Amino acid sequence: MVKKCTKCGIEFPATNEYFRANKLSKDGLRFECKSCQNIQGKEYRKKNKQKVAMGKKKYYEENKNNYLERSRKWHKENRDEILKNNKIKYANNREEILIQQRDYYKNNCDKISEQNKKWRENNKEKVIQSQLEWQKNNHDKVSEIKKRWKINNQDKIIKYEQNNRDKHNKRNKKYRNTEKGILTSNNHTNKRRARKKELESSLTKYQWIECMKYFDNKCCYCGNEEKLQQEHFIALSKCGEYTKNNIVSSCKSCNSSKSNKNFFEWYQKQPFYNKQREQKILKYLNYEPKTKIQQLALNI
């Protein structure tokens, strides 16, 4: 079956590949071919821009939920393809896209900030978690930013401290009594002690939290669930560094009992000695159980 286009006069096979559907016609196809219809549609849209835009807007408002569901479903199904196409598009039109983004941000700055505010309010936990993860992975970068800020804002800091000294002291006292405050104060004191002896002092708060989690928030020696302290596996007096590979979680009694003694001589004499706990400690500190030698250097 062949059908002639009434617009261009070219004959095409009478199929949906070349003609769009039309229920009113005998053969169920339109009189114009697809290419002629496309040209006609483009010309109409150029002449009636406002009318087309208003029609689209009206349709979107009437069918908003259906439209969003359809678009979400399509995006899920074609996610990889969309990302691939976007990357290619960005690589080929990088400068144009950046200019468009800057112009859009300038013209819609208030709108964007309001949208971001709303999103942060609705996703508070997500924001906090992402910030903590970023700080954890970029510890050096964070400290550099803080240092730079302090150098650039020294006058502001001095003025603030002078005007809010009492308020600041009260807040510090409250913070020092909390678990987080005790944790940070322990870190600062141990770091200062290590630096005085010119030893490595790179243990972070996050590494200490991971250490406590590894030992199930218990003393690594006796297994008690008392208040945990940062215990030097090799004592500070014997050049034990304040690093991930030399600090373990210990209760107060075990910490004072061990003191600066050698772990391998001290632990086996204790009534709470446990071989499984010993292996767990050596594994965490990267020690070879047979040779009793640490596989990694103490400094990270």
Distance of CA 30 to CAs 2, 13, 17, 37, Å?
13, 13, 12, 10
**Token pair for residue 258?**
């061990």
Q: What is the pLDDT of residues 12-46, one digit of tens each?
A: 998 888 898 988 888 889 889 999 999 989 999 99
Q: How far apart are alpha carbons 136 and 133 in whole angstroms?
A: 5
The more confident residue out of 189 and 254 is 254
Contact 203, 298 (CB under 8 A): no
Task: Say if residues 221 and 254 touch (Cβ distance below 8 Å).
Answer: yes
Q: What is the per-residue pLDDT across 237-249, written as a single tens digit (0 to 9) for each? A: 888 888 888 999 9
More confident position, 262 or 288: 262
DSSP states of 207-218 as a string? Answer: HHHHHHHHTTTS
What is the model's pLDDT at position 118? 92
pLDDT at site 115: 92
The per-residue pLDDT for range 180-223, each reduced to its tens digit, is 555 555 667 777 777 787 888 888 888 888 998 999 999 999 99
Q: What's the pLDDT at 220?
A: 93
SS3 237: helix
Q: Mean of the pLDDT values across residues 243-267?
A: 91
Tokens of 100: 């468009």
DSSP H or E segment with residue 194: helix 179-196
Are 253 and 209 a contacting pair, CB within 8 Å? no
103, pLDDT greater than 70:
yes
Residue 300's pLDDT is 37
8-state DSSP, 139: H
- Quick one: average pLDDT of 259-264? 90
Do residues 285 and 248 make contact, with C-beta atoms less than 8 angstroms apart?
yes
Q: For residues 148-184, b (16+ Cβ closer than 10 Å) or e, as one string?
A: eeeeeeeeeeeeeeeeeeeeeeeeeeeeeeeeeeebe
What is the token pair recorded at 177? 């009594």
What percent of the chain lies above the pLDDT cut of 70? 91
> Exposed, middle or buried: residue 286 (CB in 10 Å: 0-12, 13-18, 19+)?
middle
Q: Which residues pair with 4 in a beta bridge?
A: 11
User: Which pLDDT value is given to residue 254?
Assistant: 93
